[in-house]
Amino acid sequence: MPLDASAISPELDIFIDSLDSRDGVLMPVLHKAQELYGYLPVTVQNHIAERLKIPAAKVFGVVTFYSFFCTAPKGKFKVSVCMGTACFVRDAQAVLERFKSQLGIGAGEVSGDMMFSLDALRCVGACGLAPVVSVNGKVYGRVAPDDVEGIVEEYLVKGGQNDERHKD
Amino acid sequence: MNRIRMHMLVCGGTGCVSCDSTEVKDALVREIMEHGLENEVQVTITGCFGFCEKGPIVKVYPDNVFYVRVSPDDAKILVGEHVIKGRVVEKLLYGDTPSDIPFYKKQMRIALRNCGLIDPEKIEDYISVDGYEALGRVLTGMTPQQVIGVIKGSGLGGRGGGGFPTGLKWELTAKAAGDKKYVICNADEGDPGAFMDRSILEGDPHSILEAMAIAGYAVGADEGVVYIRAEYPLAVERLQKAINQAEAFGLLGDHILGSDFSFRVGINLGAGAFVCGEETSLMNSVQGGRGEPRIKPPFPSETGLWSKPTSINNVETFANICPIILNGAEWFSGIGTEKSKGTKVFALAGKINNVGLVEVPMGMRLGDIIYSIGGGVRGGKSFKAVQTGGPSGGCIPASMLDISIDYESLSETGSMMGSGGMIVMDEDDCMVNIAKFYLEFTVDESCGKCTPCRIGNRRMHEILSRITKGGGTLDDLEQLKDLGEIIKICSLCGLGQTAPNPVLSTLHHFYDEYEAHIVDKRCPAGACTELLRYTIIAEKCIGCTLCARSCPVPCISGERKKVHDIIQEKCIKCGICYKKCPVDAIERK
Amino acid sequence: MSGTKIKTLDELRKIRERSKAGTKLRLTGESGNRVTISVGMATCGIAAGARAVMGALIDSINENNLENVAVVATGCLGYCYAEPLVVVTVPEEKPVHYANVDEDLARKIIELHVIGGEIIGNSQLITDGLT
């Protein structure tokens, strides 16, 4: 889903207009934009630069500095494998590897059909449940490599169902 | 008339929510409605109880019964048996009363005092347990100098890791010249495995707002900023609710409690950069820029946010402020050791039985935390080390379990207090691999400003990778030490100054493990896959062919009923044969 | 949530006193030195009117602002003929059983026994030799 300038929703502009014209609003604007589009393509970055009257290079610099901001779209189901220390010592690496082979993509990548994206993330703070995997915010605890297939299956089914509903 | 006779508190911390505690609450409410008991029994979501290992947790008052691992299906029996018939449901019990649970017995909860006791989304709950009393007393009966005096006298040190005296920080900010000043709460908890700040914000957000207002009064600031990770949505939501409630009650805003003091708090979201936990980076980020650190001095107390004097304290530090004001400096300074006062919250995790959040007085023996509270190592394995201080800390070996937990003793071991993460490791954890794991983290998170940190850590990571693959030399170990020392001296901020600690401390305490990887090409813990060697023990093999059939390469030869053999050159060390063999005839070394 | 702003410390303290009703049960539960009043709430107890007794006990505790008294439902105690049954346990003292309790006696139990420290003799269940 490439985004061209015309697709920038008025909501972002409304948000920018609602802010006090003070310095330091770039981060909140980027958070809002990512909430709206799911990622921050160059067109959106340029638009923000123009609206805030700051160089596009500065926007780009900030976006790329923070790992929370992403410049490429994510899949419909965002799989995050926690690689915090607690999960690491309870063998999260093996879980991540299994997801890679199951989905056929590497960490930080998205599947060709835009269904799944896979990320290694740092500590969701549910260390009691290590190793932890989250899919679109839903947390799975004490995941063993052999559970991976079932989790992926669950979302494949869900993905199919949603498509059905759209057809109605 | 209030006829509520029973409270059921369901843990709403992230750990328990992840195991469906919200569904448990809903199921309990449904059951209670079904029996028409909604005017007798109140179900409340509360903050983290700390005992994450056994979540979801449900606590019943006034009987003080503690249920663990409760599932939504258990709601029926809990209501039917305990609520209606007054019979405790034994199968969900951990112990008779919480004080009998060893996990809680040795704890002393000051910062976590309200977590698991009040509803974090109700300001009335907070007020009922002396909430905002400290702010009231400060505004009506104390001068800013007196407030600073009390905090200084208490000996409270920064809980974010540095341990810098909080009272002194406030005093410096108060004395700095400037018409506008700021108070910042650092809630950018980036240390993987530490989650105390999040738990406090989720379980007791008002205590942080009240303490920030007290700090504002002491230093002369009218504006506060909470800089919090965007990865903590629940904490952000509860904090925002708390701010709205406090404003509605007039406990934040103009002329608080009829005084001349006005104070407001705003939230700024971080965006996943570990370096933003460093105060100058954090302020750059609040100003909308890249979170890179700058040279100190000038310190934030003189030139901070928007170049104004700023006092910046960590969440757990703030959580200690109100009890100190209410109980006095002597009360607080009476807890802990000579130099480290009060309590510290630790996040116990890793290969330990009772994962969770614990708060203990400074000076407790390290071994007591791990064995008496943590319940020892999981699965009967042997304890190898505990990692404290996260990516800035180091590994403390079994021989040092007798040390006291305080800022000085931990630093002496080559580790540090840090934010309070404690990851326990057992015999299966390879110390070289752990050091590599932490370096991977710092390489990722280095902001790139200082060359030694940006490039030096990368070089160290390459050397460690080489060692874990069997290509290391003894010279590499010298090089690691040299590089580590240089990075520590030549980096601007805390990230670089401490990044080599995990490597240096493991080199110091576990030199033999490094040697084994280099000289014997062997990983004693069996964690570095590329150094593993799978062989078939001829005497044990029954020739069932299971291993050969499961091998994905395949690299196992042999006929039925005859001894099999693994072709080492082809083996990818996946370990499937080792797991599949029905007679344990495959050896892994 | 009331939207009225708190303007003085005294107002804050008044709100605190009012809000204490909301968390009192939990603080009572946490205190080690508490009086426990158990009410038999099995089927026969409830049929005999234990629910009203429990309500009266709670009302009376709240009216008298008692801090460390916990009312707890308990199962069948076996003295079915004596229901509703109330057991008062003061720390370090022998539990006292009251038989055929009604709302009136419930209030007396709080006022005379819990506050006054005086056992209401003629309502006591004679348990010696029974258990």
Residues 33 to 52 of B: which have CB under 8 A from any A CB? 52
Sign of CA dihedral B485, B487, B490, B495: negative
CA distance B545 to B455: 50
Contact yes or no for A124 and B14 at CB 8 A = yes
C and B adjacent (3 or more CB pairs under 8 angstroms):
yes
Mean pLDDT, chain B, whole residue set: 93
In angstroms, what CA-CA distances link A143 with A136, A148, A159, B20, C118?
A: 16, 8, 22, 16, 60
- The reply to whether B108 falls in a domain is no
Per-residue pLDDT, A59: 96
- For residues B160 and B283, membership in a common domain is answered with yes
Rounded to a whole number, what is the distance in Å from the CA of B423 to chain A's nearest CA?
6
- The reply to whether B104 falls in a domain is no
- Binned at pLDDT 50, 70 and 90, residue B101 comes out as confident
A145 contacts on B by Cβ (under 8 Å): none
| Model confidence pLDDT, tens digit, residues A95-130 | 999 999 999 999 999 999 999 999 998 887 788 888
In angstroms, what CA-CA distances link B538 with A133, B16, B67, B383, B547?
A: 41, 49, 51, 33, 14
CATH number at residue B198: 3.40.50.11540
- For residues B247 and B326, membership in a common domain is answered with yes
Q: Which residues of C lie closer than 8 Å to B, measured between beta carbons?
A: 1, 3, 5-9, 12-13, 15-16, 18-30, 32, 34, 38-42, 54-55, 58-59, 62, 70-76
For chain B, say whether A126 makes contact (Cβ under 8 Å).
yes
C28 contacts on B by Cβ (under 8 Å): 61-62
b (16+ CB within 10 A) / e for B151-178: bbbbbbbbbbbebebbbebbbbbbebeb
Report the pLDDT averaged over residues B301-307.
96
Rounded to a whole number, what is the distance in Å from the CA of A118 to chain B's nearest CA?
17
Domain C-terminal end among B98, B132, B164: B98
CATH number at residue B556: 3.30.70.20
User: Using CB atoms, which residue from C8, C40, C72 is nearest to B62?
Assistant: C72
Report the pLDDT averaged over residues B260-285.
95
Rounded to a whole number, what is the distance in Å from the CA of B405 to chain C's nearest CA?
28
Contact yes or no for C9 and B127 at CB 8 A = no
- For residues B572 and B478, membership in a common domain is answered with no
Cβ pairs bridging A and B (under 8 Å) = 124
ipTM: 0.89
CATH number at residue B460: 1.20.1440.230
Q: Which of C1, C4, C5 to mutate against chain B (most B CBs within 10 Å)?
A: C5
| Model confidence pLDDT, tens digit, residues B495-521 | 999 999 999 999 999 999 999 999 999
Residues 430 to 489 of B: which have CB under 8 A from any A CB? 434, 437-438, 441, 447
Per-residue pLDDT, B178: 93
- The reply to whether B526 falls in a domain is no
Task: Check pLDDT > 70 for residue A160.
Answer: no
Mean pLDDT, chain A, whole residue set: 87
Per-residue pLDDT, C129: 46
- Binned at pLDDT 50, 70 and 90, residue B150 comes out as very high
Domain C-terminal end among B314, B333, B352: B333
Architecture of domain C32-123 in this structure: 3-Layer(aba) Sandwich (3.40)
CATH code for the domain defined by A5-65: 1.10.10
Report the pLDDT averaged over residues A27-44.
93
A23 contacts on B by Cβ (under 8 Å): 287-288, 306
* Residue B298 and residue B308 in contact, taking contact as beta carbons nearer than 8 Å: no
Share of residues in chain B with pLDDT > 90 (%): 79
B84 contacts on C by Cβ (under 8 Å): 41, 73
User: Using CB atoms, which residue from B3, B85, B125 is nearest to C23?
Assistant: B125
Domain A77-167 of CATH type 3.40.30.10 = yes
- For residues B369 and B451, membership in a common domain is answered with no
* Residue A85 and residue B385 in contact, taking contact as beta carbons nearer than 8 Å: no
- The reply to whether B113 falls in a domain is no
CATH number at residue B413: 3.10.20.600
Rounded to a whole number, what is the distance in Å from the CA of B52 to chain A's nearest CA?
5
Per-residue pLDDT, A70: 92
Neighbours of C112 (CB within 10 A): 15
Per-residue pLDDT, A3: 56
Rounded to a whole number, what is the distance in Å from the CA of B69 to chain A's nearest CA?
12
| Model confidence pLDDT, tens digit, residues B520-574 | 999 999 889 889 889 999 999 999 999 999 898 889 988 888 899 999 888 888 8
Orientation angle between helical segments B501-509 and B511-518, nearest 10 degrees: 90
Q: Are strands B310-314 and B182-187 parallel, antiparallel or unpaired?
A: parallel
User: Using CB atoms, which residue from C15, C21, C72 is nearest to B63?
Assistant: C72
A20 contacts on B by Cβ (under 8 Å): none
User: Using CB atoms, which residue from C6, C23, C40 is nearest to B249?
Assistant: C6
In angstroms, what CA-CA distances link A63 with A40, A66, B1, B164?
A: 8, 6, 56, 32
**Exposed / middle / buried, residue B88 (Cβ in 10 Å: 0-12, 13-18, 19+):** middle
Instruction: Give the residue extent of every domain in chain A.
Output: 5-65, 77-167
| Model confidence pLDDT, tens digit, residues B124-140 | 999 999 999 999 999 99
Per-residue pLDDT, A139: 85
Per-residue pLDDT, B110: 96
Instruction: Give the residue extent of every domain in chain C.
Output: 32-123
Q: What is the DSSP letter of C21?
A: H
Rounded to a whole number, what is the distance in Å from the CA of B58 to chain C's nearest CA?
13
| Model confidence pLDDT, tens digit, residues B173-224 | 999 999 999 999 999 998 888 889 999 999 999 999 999 999 999 999 999 9
Rounded to a whole number, what is the distance in Å from the CA of C9 to chain B's nearest CA?
6
All partners of chain C with 3 or more CB pairs under 8 angstroms = B
Task: Check pLDDT > 70 for residue B449.
Answer: yes
Per-residue pLDDT, A123: 80
Find the residue in C nearest to B100 (Cα): C32
Contact yes or no for C3 and B248 at CB 8 A = yes
In angstroms, what CA-CA distances link B417 with B344, B422, B568, B576?
A: 9, 9, 45, 40
Report the pLDDT averaged over residues B411-433.
92
Domain that includes residue B234, residue range: 123-333
| Domain count for chain B | 5
Residues of chain C with pLDDT under 50: 1-2, 129-131
Per-residue pLDDT, B192: 84
